[in-house]
Amino acid sequence: MKREYFGTDGIRGTVGQAPITPDFVLRLAHSVGQVLRKSETRPVVLIGKDTRISGYMLESALESGFNSAGVDVVLLGPLPTPGVAYLTRAQRASLGVVISASHNAFQDNGIKFFSAQGTKLPDAWELEVEAALRTQPQWVQSAALGKTRRLDDAAGRYIEFCKSTFAYDLTLKGLKIVVDGAHGAAYHIAPKVFHELGAEVIAIGCAPDGLNINHLVGATHPQALVAAVKEHKADFGVALDGDADRLQMVDAQGRLFNGDELLYLMASDRLQRGEVLPGVVGTLMTNMAVELALKARGVEVVRAKVGDRYVLEALHERDWILGGEGSGHLLALDKHTTGDGLISALQVLQTCVRADKTMAELLSEVTLFPQTLLNVRLRPGTDWQSNAALHAQTKAVEQELGQSGRVLIRASGTEPLVRVMVEARDPAQALRCAQSIADTLQ
């Protein structure tokens, strides 16, 4: 069956437009409650949110929907998505719920769920919820209604968890770090984590007003971080997105490091300490230079489809621990069950502190290949995959690039576009080859 409401990461959209309306969200929570009660008599659900003004409205709707199905609710308040995942597991709750649209602007919002183990839920569970949505509500009797309480120290518990993932024999003392919380869910948490580990912290993007989440700050707008690091002469800059599961980092020179480079640093630290690291999972967009550098150190690299959900699936299939995307979604499954921007930043900082080197020094042998990405707009319904000329041109480009580059052609999931990406050591060659393929498509 095809999912009607769930996307690759929960349900998301513009607030006030279906399905992100209070009436639908109430029904959604009620339906989830019905599914939970098939296996539990008295389920308990944790609800966390980011700082969007619509979070208040959607939180109330979720609370009512769960209570009406006989499910108890624990409100966590503003908390990063990975913080909700952690507390769901730590509190032995039945389910974790996050109200967030991640890196989107404040007009959007969404609902995503975590299992009792703090992991993303499978497609089969989402389909079961959608089936329940198509049935009539089953309101429980008054005596069986759920209750709601608030976990007042949720932020403090998550702060301690993050700190516990940083090596006990290391400290951040002597380092000045700019922390950009994107005016999002980590605004009151991220500065404390780095400060309590010894760093001098300069906080930006940590003054949410309900409307400014991700606005010109955070991981999707790293220019603010670069400027602040230079202004304050800081050693590092850390930028999170609205729900703090995405990371970008900057060094003292203002150089921005993407997720591919940060993933290499996390792998390098483990290799340096003699840990067994059979492989790392990237995506179809992972830079080829990082793949070659890891393979040179005996680490296999597997490419999953774009999306942290698919990276996670590939890691579980192989029982590996490290994976990520260039966008900054990074996974270290020996530290947490899901991607966590704060914990990933601590892993990178730990690498630098232990080696007493900068990120640039540790990446001196990894020079990212230039990537050219072109979007080709086609008429809806165009069967570009059967285009013989496209196949011939793509094969010609691949033969020209050999082992020093690659081609990726994929359809957009949201627009009638085909994305053409060519990666090569020579930027001029990458652009020329990408344009030749795009011209063939058009």
**Mean pLDDT over residues 416-432, rounded?**
92
Task: Tell me if residue 404 is catalytic.
Answer: no
Q: Do domains 157-256 and 257-340 have the same CATH topology?
A: yes
Report the distance separating Cα 432 and Cα 350, nearest Å: 40
Rounded to whole angstroms, the Cα distance separating 279 from 277 reads 6
| Confidence (pLDDT) at 1 | 67
Share above pLDDT 70 across residues of the chain, in percent, rounded to a whole number: 99
Q: Is the pLDDT of residue 416 over 80?
A: no
What pLDDT band is residue 378 in, cutting at 50, 70 and 90?
confident
Mean per-residue pLDDT for 55-79? 98
pLDDT at residue 420, rounded to an integer: 94
CATH of domain 257-340: 3.40.120.10
429: pLDDT strictly greater than 70: yes
pTM of the model: 0.92
- Domain range annotation of the chain: 11-152, 157-256, 257-340, 371-441
CATH fold of 371-441: TATA-Binding Protein (3.30.310)
Amino acid at 369: F
Q: Which CATH architecture has domain 157-256?
A: 3-Layer(aba) Sandwich (3.40)
Fold of 11-152: Alpha-D-Glucose-1,6-Bisphosphate; Chain A, domain 3 (3.40.120)
Tens digits of residue pLDDT in 257-311: 999 999 999 999 999 999 999 999 999 999 999 999 999 999 999 999 988 889 9
Of the pLDDT bands very low, low, confident and very high (cuts 50, 70, 90), residue 8 is: confident
Catalytic residue (one of 102, 115, 327, 344) = 102
